[in-house]
Structure 1
Amino acid sequence: MPSISANLITLLPLLLIITLVIINPIQFKEKRNFLYLLSATALESSLEIVTILNKANTFMAAIISAFANAFGFAIAPLVAYLMLTIIMKDTKYEKYKNIIRIPLICNAFLSFGSIWFDWIFIVTPLNQYFRGPLFHVQFLVSLFYIIAFVYIDLTKIKDYMLEDLICKGAIYCLILGSIIAQVFFPDLLLIWGTISICLIFYFISVQNMQLRRDPLTMAYNRLCYDNLLLKSIDKEGVTLIIIDVNQFKKVNDTFGHMTGDKMLCSIALTLRKHFEAYGYTYRIGGDEFAIIASNIKESKVHEIFNNIEAEFLHTKNRLSISPILSYGLCEYNPKLHKDIYDAIKIADNNMYICKEKNKSRKYYIT
């Protein structure tokens, strides 16, 4: 029973990952949908085991096979759909979530209708299985969701570090490789085993990303900042920017910590948006941020911060208050500076000079 063994090898790690996700103290976006995704994949593998074991040539066995196949064909695109909904979260494509359900619903209708009308599959009264004329519908629907998933994920490539890209590249190669192999060698039954491995990779990737992120602002955290500094210690063309939020304690005392948290999130998002072409944004302290940028001129940094301040005044930070940012920078040169930490001190000193100049400025409050 090699097919049963293969499905059990698929199923057991999935059950383990489901347990780890449930008890995991680190929360991440779309955790519920990820659990649905894992559960759907585990159910699909279980249904395959049922169809493999249910080989008796009886009418009751035929009924069991018909319903097992109907659920299996309905669930197959659901797995890819749930993958897509996870990656669509907080993107401009999220508004299309109702539209992308249509192929899923149509496939489910055809799958369960096949019990009586032989559309996707045929199960005879003696429990003999054949492919129906619309057999490839579930495959095409799944492929559509997978392609959409990869496309949307690639639009977020600037948010990923090298480690994330390696893991995601492995996921894409495994999925596409298994699809191609399944087309040419239908008896291999690679799809669900491959998807299970990919989900494990995805879980590891999410965990690693969470460990590198500040949980409040989603900027990279101090640990990630320190690690990248070590990697940049001999590089040229690196610009270090230190940012501090003026009078932040006053914001917390006057408006409350919830407003302060919203302000920090807005600042982090704005910094990431303006500097994404040059480097990553880090939260290195309570109200302190840093950017390690590459190939950016000092004049461009000043221009960006002028644009940020104008943007804050225009939008009022989506609160009733517009923050004032003090910043300092240093273009690191291994030949001029003792080490990269020497350049950080210079950037930090320049930030405090800017902070002194900004002391007399007041928050814009509406």
Structure 2
Amino acid sequence: MASGHRLLLENAQQVVLVCARGERFLTGSALRSLAVLEGASVVVGTRFCTFFFALKSRILIQVCSPSTQDTEEPRNHPLVSPLEVGSADLPVTSLSEPCVQLAGATYMDIHQAGGGINFTVEHTRQASEEELFCSFQQRLQCMMRAGTTLVECKSGYGLNLETELKMLRVIERARRELHLSLSATYCGAHSLGAELGAQAVSHLEEVSDEGITAMAAARCSAVLLPTTAYMLRLKQPRARKMLDEGVIVALGSDFNPNAYCFSMPMVMHLACVNMRMSMPEALAAATINAAYALGKSHTHGSLEVGKQGDAIIINASRWEHLIYQFGGHHELIDYVITKGKVIYKK
């Protein structure tokens, strides 16, 4: 058996699959009844795909490679599916977060004082490719330690061909050298939305009833950004209206100079508190629906047979603690796993 699998997880208190029937997204009542196994085990094959679930009597993490086999026996944890990051992540920048924002200045106040996007564009243009890569790598590692295994990385802070290409080269290098899955997006024409048949739309604080109806009909994912609304003191997106209308609701961190947050557990907590989402709704929005927004829910976003073997293991009695304990994810997350390989251990 050791030669046929890359990772074996035995008898987790809970294995949160999110979905179990090959769904590409979840809406409606399906969001309130996530697929969860009690006292179950997971095997990730040598081709990095999850391929077997069974009930066992103890928990064992067994990581296998052609030349070595390491075994560890941690405490009895629940196993939780990976946290995805939805649209509007802008981590490839050279930025300086102005303290005046937290003192109450609006975005336009900062912009008129010489900050804002023009400040960031100028410093991103001046930064070398190596400088951008080093800061990008550090930010991705922070996201990974908070449980993220798939990141959408948008360009858009170059605003000229040379800098945009520089940013895309940085993203491509990170894709080659780092363990996380990266999805690169050119950040242009992002306000045109569902009219062009977009798979996902973000920044929906002012979306109309007609827009919500159109998104539901087009199966266009609404990527909600709780940290952006919170930090910029904006009106919260109408998550409950979208959920009730059958929109595919996803969550994203919107990491950028105005929403400096690496943590999807904190994003989910804010979605529950400020947008009135339930914890199952928030978890689905941050996993399978976020993967759908990136066109990757066939490989990411849930623990199902044939999907990429990404997971996190937390030290808690139930998975809900990952959302409930605001800011507690660093203590809760013991392991982060991608493709059946442990890439982070607390």
- Decide which structure has greater helix share: 1
- Decide which structure has greater strand share: 2
TM-score range relative to shorter protein: under 0.3
TM-score (norm 1): 0.23
